Structure 1
């Protein structure tokens, strides 16, 4: 039993003894055998107005209070979503300097999404939830499910790609896994937080269709299927009102239509008005007057919007008691589910099982983008050690600890296996290293300026060594410095920073046998794409990432990841950038999502713009043959379901996993619809020569669109087409059917 649990049990024992002596019965709110709603009602009946309102704002950087008089404990929160952040000081953003707060870093959520493996998503959630529980955290701030709208967004690495269906399917088991430990998720950032530039005030204008079809489905799945216990309100405005206390988002949709019974918690510093916070759905206010970054030097916690001003407005009759009681009830419900839940267990930290889970996610999320071969020359991957005497590894990311930087997702890890270390384990003394470029220190702020003479020297050294090597492995990309993949600032350009494009082109000229490994949470420009024979999209792979990357590159693991977002050839091809500055990043005040529902592959398909690498794309070391798909019927009605089946065969020589995707296109509609939309997928493992049958079930819900003329989801009678695909651009078979 840890100290906090011991003290809590002691406090509850004393409280129960005193109250039992008074009432000769255990208070209902303390009796976990009673229904939770009865416990909440009983607790509210015993609380003063001051105690109810005090539940709704912070008492420290990552803590909000309970009700000490009644023995109701506080809530403790921690940043996620890729690991449990190191302990932060009580009243400022400095690290506390603990020696017991190192964690397992799991791969970034883009990597999880790229695995397309819902079972792994559940294992991810369960493992990180165990680490949060061990650290005595009640709320883990994640997962992030905002849609990937532009490759410049600094926080895309924390999210699950451009498709709402994929994000929904991956976040639900993650949520269930975390909360099985009696740790609440706090799904973020609700909603439309699709950029970091001007994030605190940019006013997003978006159609009802795009809101419902693209930007809200993952949040809805998190609430209605994942049963998330808390949601984080985002910094930005939506239609003129800050999202964290937005009547449409919180009251009408989240708590009204979706029936959310948990807490809306601010992002740190995202509240701006007492009346709106009280009336429009905010339940717990964190980090106000700090913008999430500075200290509480000038303000006390009672100065928060839901502090003394909230209490004053209630006493003046400006805020009804039903609002106060609803807010307090939601916080109590969260406390009873987490910190006051005697079934919550003890958790575990940095276990072999957690490292194995991190490894599995990393190895299944890595995407092989290119692996060119010819009649005269075999593909460079997988690496056959015996073919090479000298292998040169080049790049700052080969050795860099990429758990540092990035903002609130920064992690202090117990163990870090770099890509260079992982490759050396498998390839031994064949490996030589040249840095090639430097990105400077991992800092949160302006990028460090590196003298050009230093960059020239590093580049020239790498190119000279490349000319003498048998194989060159470049490991670069982004690195969580500011203006790269980092909270608080978007990328400044689509191209790679630190002269990496020039370096890659120099390496290829010196030696045509180059494998480029791009470490990032975003697509990057690849002017050298046609020159480099093998390209790997690696993500921020966590503590054990070096081992996973090395195993994929050497063939111990066959790559099976597929892109969760499209790779545009140039930035102007991306829909958010096609319509000019007002569409992204806005005019500093307002922003219009002019691409509407045509986000990601929906845009490229419909506008017939070829991406560099399409959504759902990824190569393997083996090959997969698809049979012709067949449907159980040519028609579908409102009360029916329709099954589509096909067989997939591994026609190669090594075991592998294939992600079979099903898209549906509406052939006839009175409103614009994308050419096709992802509706189902299945990841299947096959031995060489093995064949398996896959069946997808289609219902009328899979055909629906949001009709903003009627303000409801609907499906029109007519012709539809189901596409069986290996990616959004690789259609293996189609089935036509009619909805009547």
Structure 2
């Protein structure tokens, strides 16, 4: 820690009044705090979100300013970035987001979201990276580093255990220490200790009976003390519920969705409690200290020590003229998001090499509403005022050009939403909606289905683009099941009867069930919300200009796992009488599955899935060979192992392959997963080219958390190293003894 800086911050705080200090620790606008104009401390300006900088709002109303200068680059969602398995692209995506935020005059961007995808039904999964903590960590770190290159703080969210939208403000999470340490904490620890994240967002929920934003165990002991976080902790909007508990806790800034800023818990109520002697003013000083430290690190201000008229030391606050200016809506940004979109497209199935399609075809029929609707302005706080958005239909049409007739049929109907005279966020502190039921087929959809099926009979080449939209992938609600909405299963089934080689594109931010028709389909492509150039990337993959290299960052199960159909697992059970006495909650959610989340659960319980974690095909083929494992020696003990192998492109096209390394016990213990992802590397190979891949695993990768001892333990014994193209497509294995 910079002792000179800390001393100057302390001196500056002594010059401030209580009112000035409290103005810095709560919202003075919907997306800003108050500055201290008297001594030139600026306000802290923030913005959503994870897919681009949100449109500008009036300071005290959820009403867009309405000027045309806040159009931005629509970035790929974190679920799309995750499918690239590409650390460099993740960093570049973060860099675009940071530059755009700074270009719009923001100091903090509320991103990335890195919560683990505990259940496939969570409505906000499209904002998150993966069900796996290692993959989440490996991509979150470069995203944060990329954002913060532009003198903008990444506010990493939502710490911690915010894994459902149902009763998100009032659900109490109960999980054992091992589960938290092995599954839900690692990515947050990584962005703090490896990426140096400058701010963290406190989540809505409770953990073990206490709301996170005043939870001294989670925010204080773990985040501040164990991980050494000295940045700024900002509440989710409306996540603070008390004055004393929050003031005396580690949280620094209270934000909310209402405009009564002076009545926030850390505003006038806090001043009153301090004046009465109920709360020590030092609590406020600590929060201001963390904020000022972040401001200096962001090059917002410079603190200079000067003598005052009495010869005593005084701190002069000046604007740092060397702060980066940022930029937005540049051609470079648009190209960077296109590169991410290209590598996010994931080929799930390609029987008989049906893809790629011939770009010289004379005519093609595109069916499905997701081919034409814009996704940018949906999803909740991830909504974006995009400069433009290339939809799948537009991408296909502009790729094929005038020599091909591209015809479109809706196929199904998405009922129009009721118009509202206010922004959804005004009501977002009300109890969360129940799980959204699957939208059924309407009369219009039935008519559109029949029309599309008849039309498909006339076309040799048919591309179906369906899936979900932001009526399902939506902040504030979860899904009741994984069934496709709007009667799509029947539509796809009937289309396959008349056009069995139809290409199917599923556009979604979370899993859907393809069970009714997947076995009959020849070609299935998966894409998430891939940003403003998503349609361009899709067309390039479908017609062979780009070889697909995406890999699933989450399992695609056939249905919501049985365990999550039990109230105790999801969305939670009513409180007991004893719980009602000591916690401000509506539900208790017990993570009874423990560490068996995502592929760990399916593999341990031998549950078949549609497509496994890490799966993704290419238009070329790869072989794996010559696995060699060498121990890395050290003076005290082994540091780990170097795992080396050769990968060869045996096909006729250049392609990218993600080599994945999993680790498990040779004889699997009941309390441990079969295997877990520990390393991966994405490589590009020309036809007939061979490359040597080096993957490193440390001794920590063999450890599990011992709750009784309160520490990580290495169990001696025999382990198996698995290397392959996915969780299930294991090419090479070797046993080692620890």
Structure-2 separation of matches of 1:230 and 1:671: 38
Structure-2 change in CA distance of 1:639 and 1:67 (3 Å): farther
Change (3 A) 1:316 1:433: same
Q: CA deviation at 1:633?
A: 4.0
- State the match for 1:585 in structure 2: 571
After superposing the two structures, state which structure 1 stretch, 674-683 or 275-284, moved more. Answer: 275-284
Is the counterpart of residue 497 in structure 1 residue 485 in structure 2? yes
Partner of 1:24: none
Moved more, 425-434 or 414-423: 425-434
CA distance, structure 2, for counterparts of residue 413 and residue 441 of structure 1: 21
Give 1:560-575 correspondences, 5 Å limit: 560-572=549-561, 575=563
Work out whether residues 514 and 532 of structure 1, in 8 Å CA contact, stay in contact via their aligned partners in 2: yes
> Contact between 1:517 and 1:536, CA under 8 Å: does it hold in 2?
yes
**SS in structure 1 of the partner of residue 444 of structure 2:** helix
Number of residues of Structure 1 aligned to a counterpart in Structure 2: 687
Structure 1 CA distance, aligned partners of 2:94 and 2:344?
Answer: 16
Offset from partner CA, 1:303-349 (integer Å, 9 cap, x none) = 11111221222233333344222111011112223333433221111
| 1:357-372 matches, cutoff 5 A | 357-372=336-351
Deviation (angstroms), 1:517: 0.5
Residue 458 of structure 1, CA deviation: 1.0
Contact 1:635–1:738 under 8 Å retained in 2:
no
**Pair 1:320 & 2:280 matched:** yes
> What is the alpha-carbon distance in structure 2 between the residues aligned to residue 369 and residue 535 of structure 1?
5
CA separation in 1, counterparts of 2:184 and 2:697?
23
Counterpart of 1:148 in structure 2 is: 117
1:595 to 593, 596, 601: 593
Per the alignment, in what secondary structure is the counterpart of residue 385 of structure 1?
Answer: coil
Partner residue in 2 for 1:440: 415
Q: Which runs of 5+ in 1 are unaligned?
A: 1-32, 374-378
Indicate whether 1:348 and 2:327 are aligned. yes
Ranges in structure 2 where 5+ consecutive residues have no aligned partner: 302-319, 419-423, 425-432, 575-586
- Worse-superposed segment, 670-679 or 420-429: 670-679
1:356 positional shift: 0.7
Structure number with higher relative contact order (C-alpha < 8 Å, ≥ 6 residues apart) = 2
Residue 475 (structure 1) aligned with residue 465 (structure 2): yes
1:79-478 counterparts in 2 under 5 A?
Answer: 79-287=48-256, 292=257, 295-296=258-259, 300-338=260-298, 339-340=300-301, 341-373=320-352, 379-386=353-360, 388-428=361-401, 429-441=404-416, 452-478=442-468
Aligned: 1:531 with 2:516: no
Judged with a 3 Å threshold, the aligned counterparts in structure 2 of structure 1 residues 528 and 35 are, in CA distance, closer, same or farther, namely farther
Query: How far apart in 2 are the matches of 1:372 and 1:676?
Result: 29
Q: Is the 8 A contact 2:600 2:675 kept in 1?
A: yes
Cα separation, partners in 2 of 1:332 and 1:212, compared to 1, 3 Å: same
**Cα distance in 2 between the residues matched to 1:503 and 1:713:** 52
In 1, distance between residues paired with 2:556 and 2:567? Answer: 20
Specify which of 602, 605, 611 is matched with residue 603 of structure 2. 605
- Determine helix, strand or coil for the equivalent of 1:249: helix
Cα displacement (A) at 1:442? 6.2
Q: Deviations over 1:612-636 (max 9, x none)?
A: 1110110000011000311124999
Per the alignment, in what secondary structure is the counterpart of residue 535 of structure 1? strand
User: Could you report, residue by residue, the CA deviation over 1:557-602 in whole angstroms, capped at 9, with x for unpaired residues?
Assistant: 10001000001122235x544xx11100112511111110001111
Cα distance in 1 for residues equivalent to 2:111 and 2:330: 21
State how 1:525-674 maps to structure 2 within 5 Å: 525-526=513-514, 527-572=516-561, 575-577=563-565, 580-587=566-573, 589-633=587-631, 638-667=637-666, 672-674=671-673
| In 2: Cα distance, 1:34 partner to 1:420 partner | 58
Aligned to 2:689: 690
- 2:12 paired with 1:67: no
What is the CA distance between 1:34 and its match in structure 2? 9.5
SS of alignment partner, residue 221 of structure 2 = helix
Identify if the C-alpha distance between structure 1 residues 88 and 663 changes in structure 2 by more than 3 Å, giving closer, same or farther. Answer: same
How many Å separate the matches in 2 of 1:640 and 1:471? 55
Deviations 1:211-269 (A, max 9, x none): 11000100110111111111111111111111122111100100010010111111111
Q: Deviations over 1:113-165 (max 9, x none)?
A: 11000001111111111111110000000100000111110100000010001
Task: Decide whether the 8 Å contact of 2:624 with 2:731 is kept in 1.
Answer: yes
Does structure 1 conserve the Cα–Cα contact (< 8 Å) formed by 2:343 and 2:548?
Answer: yes
Contact 2:547 2:655 in 1 (8 A): yes
| 2:371–2:465 Cα contact (<8 Å) kept | yes
CA distance in structure 2 between the partners assigned to 1:451 and 1:621 by the alignment: 35
1:706 matches 2:705: yes
How far residue 45 of structure 1 moved from its aligned partner, in angstroms, is 2.5
- Residue by residue over 1:491-547, the C-alpha shift from the partner in whole angstroms, topping out at 9 and shown as x without a partner, is 232101011111101111121121111111101001210111110111101111110
Q: CA RMSD in A?
A: 2.0
8 Å CA contact 1:718, 1:738 repeated in 2:
yes
CA displacement, residues 58-104 of structure 1 (integer Å, 9 cap, x when unaligned)? 10000011221110100110001110001111112121112100000
8 A Cα contact 2:438 2:480, kept in partner: no
Indicate the residue corresponding to 2:307 in structure 1. none
